[in-house]
Copies of this chain bind each other. A is one copy, B any other.
Amino acid sequence: MDQFATAGHQLLVNQVPITQLVDRVGQTPFYAYDRSVIKQNIAQLRAELPGKIKLHYAIKANPMPALIDFIAPLVDGLDVASSAELIHALNSSVAPTQVSFAGPGKRDAELQMALASGIIINIESENELKRVIALSEQSGYRANVALRINPDFELKSSGMKMGGGAQQFGIDAEAVVNILPLLQQPSVNFRGLHIFTGSQNLSAASICEAHRGIFALAAKIKQQLKLDLAHLNIGGGFGIPYFPGETVLDIKPIATELKGLLEQYQSEFATTEVIIELGRFLVGNAGLYVSRVTDIKQSRGETFVIVDGGMHHHLAASGNFGQVIRKNYPVAIANKMNLPTGDNVTITGPLCTPLDLLAKNMSFPQIEVGDIVAIYQSGAYGFTASPREFLSHPQPIEVLV
C-alpha cells in the first residue's frame, strides 16, 4: 500500500496529512479519493498500453460527480450502467459518442434517454434490440448500437465471471448471426462489439488468454456479420490487490500481448477502435475509508476497538460483499504511521450485529480513543455498494483530495 506517502506518523492523502484532512472534512467517517493516485494510475496505463488502445472509465466503480469530472479529460470515454450514471456522463466533458450503456434489463425510459443522448447502447438480448428499434422508429433518434457478446469461453482466475456458459449478460456468441437482419434496419447504426469476460482478475496470463479469445471471437463475428466494427470494447476486469498474498497486476505482459494481437488482426481491425474499459483499476487504490475510534474495550482477553464507521458504509471491507470467506482489507492507524505494532486487536463498527467487522485480529500501534482508522483500496465499490441506511447511522461524506 505504497500509493500513499507518510510524513512522520501521518498518512498523506495527496500531500494533506490525515489529521488535517479530518479537520477539513469536518466529520468522520468519510471516503477520500486521491487525485494524484488516479492520475498516476492512468498515466502508467497509458505509458504501457499500445497507443492505439482507447481507455474508458466504468462509472459504476465510483460515480462521485467530482471524481468523474476529474477523470473525464484523462480518458477517452465513459461506460454507464444506469440512467443516473448516464446523466453524470453527459454532465462531464466526454462526448456522448464516447459513452456506452451496458446492463441487462434496461427499461424503455432508459433506452429512450440513451437514444436521445446519442450514446452507444450495448445490446444485451435480441428482445432489447427489438425494443430499441421500436423506440428509435417512434422517436426518430437513430440508435447507435453495439452488441454485447456472451463469449463461448470463460475467463480464468476472475473474481467474478461475466461471460461463458449460460448468462444474463449479452447475446450468446453462436446466436449473433440470427440478429443480423435487425442490425440492418435503417434505424440502427451498428457500431461494434462489447466482449467482457469477468472482473477483479489478478492474473496477467489469464487476461492475455481472454484477450486472445476476444480478438479471435470478434474477428469471427465480423466475418459472419460482414459488417465493419467501428469499435471493439474488450472489457476490463483488471483487478487490484485487497488481501494478504495478492499482488499488483503487472500490465507489461498484457500490453505486449495486446500489441501482438493488434498486429495479428491488423487487416480485420484496421479501422476499428479497440477499447479497454476499467473502473476499479483506475480508482480502487486511490480511495481510503476513514473513521475514528470511539471506544476501546476488553472482553474475555480480547481487545475490541470500536469506530464510528462500519459495514453500513463499507460492506466489502466487512467481508459481506461477494466474499465467501471473510479476509481483512489493509487497514492502518492513519495518525500513527511508522510506529511499532503490538498485540492483535479487532476493529468493529457501531452496529448491533457481529457482521460489522472491519479488522479481525490485526496488529497495530497502540490505539487510543480518537485515533484515525483508514481502510485502503476503498476507491471503488465502497460508498455506493454499501447499505448506508442499515441501522440509520449518520452518512459518510465523499471528498476528492
Contact = CB atoms under 8 A, between A and B. Distances in A.
A331 interface: no
Contact of A105 (B85, B125, B324, B349): B349
Interface in A305-333: 306-308, 315, 320-322, 324
A167 B126 contact: no
Contacts of A386: 387
Contact of A167 (B102, B106, B299, B349): B299
A107 B29 CA distance: 12
Contact of A60 (B84, B384, B391): B391
Nearest to A309: B105
B81 A351 contact: yes
Contacts of A103: 350-352, 391
A297 B125 contact: yes
A385 B384 contact: no
Nearest to A369: B127
Contact of A84 (B315, B353, B392): B392
A30 to B, nearest CB: 15
Contact of A304 (B168, B320, B353): B168
Interface string A340-362: 00000010111111110000000
Given A161-B354, A352-B60, A352-B102, A324 B321 contact: no
Interface in A181-236: 199
Interface string A92-116: 0000000000111111000000000
A257 interface: no
A238 interface: no
Nearest to A347: B168
Contacts of A63: 392
Interface in A370-393: 381, 383-393
B160 A355 contact: yes
Given A105-B295, A105-B307, A295-B128, A169 B387 contact: no
A346 B324 CA distance: 21
A302 interface: yes
A51 B143 CA distance: 68
Interface string A78-96: 0001111100100000000
Contacts of A387: 315, 321, 384-388
Interface of A: 60, 63, 81-85, 88, 102-107, 124-128, 150, 160-162, 165-169, 172, 199, 294-297, 299-302, 304, 306-308, 315, 320-322, 324, 346, 348-355, 369, 381, 383-394
